[in-house]
Structure 1
Amino acid sequence: MKHQALTEEIIKIFYRVYNALGYGFLEKVYENAMMIELKKEGLSTIQQSPINVIYSDQIVGQYFADMIVDEKVIVEIKAKKYLMPEDEAQLLNYLKATDKEVGLLINFGPKPELTRKVFDNSKK
């Protein structure tokens, strides 16, 4: 699996934060807590990293990935009852719009949820 060790480390941090904070905070609280833990583990992380959507060689939109860890994995954070197909589509679109191939969608809902997505650069 591509970037398996890194995604496993991020997932451990997700559960550490979830166990400490539980459900009910806004996404930003979880994002900030994740940043603290990722830094403690020595992982280089960019918060709210811009993603340009290009069409016909022009920028047609800009989004912000919650985190990019070690310049390899996009982490998208949710804090809702449960993940929806559009949440997965959002992560896949982030992967399509960048050179990143691996993404984690994590949800600080009533039950912790996560999805790992891979989109190979050769298919972009």
Structure 2
Amino acid sequence: MTENELSKIVFDAGLKIHRKLGSGLFEHVYEECLFYELSKTDLLVEKQKLFPIIYEDLKIENAFRIDIIIENKLILELKAVEYINPIHKAQLLTYLKMTNCKLGMLLNFQSDVFKNGVTRIVNYL
């Protein structure tokens, strides 16, 4: 399945959650619900996955944690904040580069309209 096909599944699941719960909850609530929804599929879905960073001869274990990764292709970074800041986008782009994934989705569940809280970030390897 392509990254775009995966992102459609994620968007639909996120929209379902947002319609039922609305905005105003903590990020971890949305993460649990999204993981639950995606776990109903046949996809490989992992949450709070830790990754190392290798810098020259130094390997730093557990250097960063990804909220949700699907099929080792699509990274999801979840937020429940009033505004998405440039640092949120930079964080996701760094995760994409470190994992060689091509697509990430920044999902802000604090948005009144779910689609307005969704940002796709592409890693041009």
TM-score normalised according to structure 2 size:
0.88
Alignment gaps of 5+ in structure 1: none
TM alignment of 1:52-67, pairs within 5 A:
52-60=52-60, 62-67=63-68
Residue 59 of structure 1 aligns to a residue whose secondary structure is strand
Aligned to 2:44: 44
Aligned to 2:26: 26
CA distance in 2, matches of 1:47, 1:31: 8
Alpha-carbon offset, residue 43 of structure 1: 2.4
Alpha-carbon offset, residue 10 of structure 1: 0.6
Residue 5 of structure 1 aligns to a residue whose secondary structure is helix
Aligned to 1:114: 118
Alpha-carbon offset, residue 78 of structure 1: 0.2
Asked if structure 2 preserves the Cα contact closer than 8 Å seen for 1:106 and 1:114, the reply is yes
**Is 1:98 paired with 2:99?**
yes
What letter corresponds to residue 22 of structure 2 in structure 1? G
CA distance in 1, matches of 2:28, 2:119: 19
Aligned to 1:83: 84
TM-score normalised according to structure 1 size:
0.89
Count of paired positions: 120
Q: Superposition RMSD on alpha carbons, in Å?
A: 1.5
CA distance in 1, matches of 2:101, 2:3: 11
Alignment gaps of 5+ in structure 2: none
Residue 108 of structure 2 aligns to a residue whose secondary structure is strand
The percentage of counterpart residues that share the same residue type is 33
